[in-house]
Amino acid sequence: MKTAKTDILEIAYCQSGPDDGWPVVLSHGFPYDVHAYAEVAPVLAAAGAKVIVPYLRGFGLTRFLSKQTMRSGQQAALGADVIGLMDALGLETAILAGFDWGGLASCVASALWPERVEGLVSYAGYDIIDVERQRHAFSPSLEQAMWYQHLFQSERGRECLRENRHELCRILWSQWSPNWSFDDNTFLRSAAAFENPDFVDVVTHSYRFDFGLEEGDPALAALERKLSNSPKIVVPAVTLDGTQDPLKPGGTADHANMFASYHEHRVYACGHAFPFETPEAFADAVLTIHDRAA
């Protein structure tokens, strides 16, 4: 485990592969952690990649540098953290890859700072949030799957996450990946990251901001305005879908028009925890992007 300081965070991260390898940043989601890439990172490292797997803000050993910094979980913050980490590590460019919050962070960084991104792997699709759309209802089946987001809008939900974070997050793992038979050790290894002192604040702010019910960090307002225009992603991209993911009914193949460069969409029989469930496919997508950039 290593750490690197940005303007606002000390980011903890795992690194593998040669120091002079081609850089790739693998970002995890909620409620997961760096162990989501335990079987992906070695494949990429063996192929010559310098693999960086950071703990997102609010997870693991990543910490805010100041008590005064807003514990924001909004999309612009997550994307800016990726670029900040690259700056701290002296990486001019990198391949970005992620799922859930990590896919969001990777898409945001690719859309706002394309000159820093060699290519993108995203589960699922164009994963930039349309906050205005989030103010309105989705289909009842999707609203049911999003129950945790509704719960987090209230102080009752904050209390539930604070007092029962392991039980709540384990329910999400099971519901989102119905055919993945993970064991206790696998979950508990990742659940240790949820003990971060900022975990509850960052998570609840993220979903309240996404629903348009809580203000974002004023320092990120200009970036959020850019994202509200749904900027197209102009870097080469491979997008991934899991057919058993209740959060992505019907998949994201219809996002193709949001990618203005090389784009390939791949579909697999798995759930939401894609790199856990189908690590070979995730690694292969990253290698595809690397081969195109080489």
Q: What percent of the chain has pLDDT over 90?
A: 97
Please report which confidence band the pLDDT of residue 294 belongs to, taking 50, 70 and 90 as the band edges.
confident
Q: 2-293: which CATH topology?
A: Rossmann fold (3.40.50)
Per DSSP, what are the bridge partners of residue 11? 4
Query: How far, in Å, CA of 99 to CA of 97, rounded?
Result: 7
Cβ-contact 6, 84 below 8 angstroms? yes
Cβ-contact 82, 106 below 8 angstroms? yes
Structure-token pair, residue 94: 């990198």
Phi-psi region at 216: left, alpha or beta (left = phi > 0; alpha = psi -120 to 50):
beta
Q: State in Å, rounded, how far the first CA of the chain is from the last one.
A: 29
Return phi, psi of residue 222, to 5°.
Answer: -65, -40
Q: What is the pLDDT of residues 104-151, one digit of tens each?
A: 999 999 999 999 999 999 999 999 999 989 888 999 999 999 999 999
Q: How far is CA 246 from CA 76, 97, 141, 190, 271, in A?
A: 25, 21, 9, 22, 8
Query: How far, in Å, CA of 52 to CA of 11, rounded?
Result: 11
List Cβ neighbours of 35 (8 Å cut-off, separation of 6 or more): 186, 189, 190
Q: What is the pLDDT of residues 155-208, one digit of tens each?
A: 999 999 999 999 999 999 999 999 999 999 999 999 999 999 999 999 999 999
Q: What is the pLDDT of residues 263-292, one digit of tens each?
A: 999 999 999 999 999 999 999 999 999 999
Return phi, psi of residue 155, to 5°.
Answer: -65, -30
Q: Domain limits of the chain?
A: 2-293
Q: pTM score, two decimals? A: 0.97
Structure-token pair, residue 157: 């939900």
Q: What is the pLDDT of residue 134?
A: 86
Q: What is the DSSP string of 140-156?
A: HHHHHHTHHHHHTTSHH
Per DSSP, what are the bridge partners of residue 32? none
Structure-token pair, residue 54: 């950071």
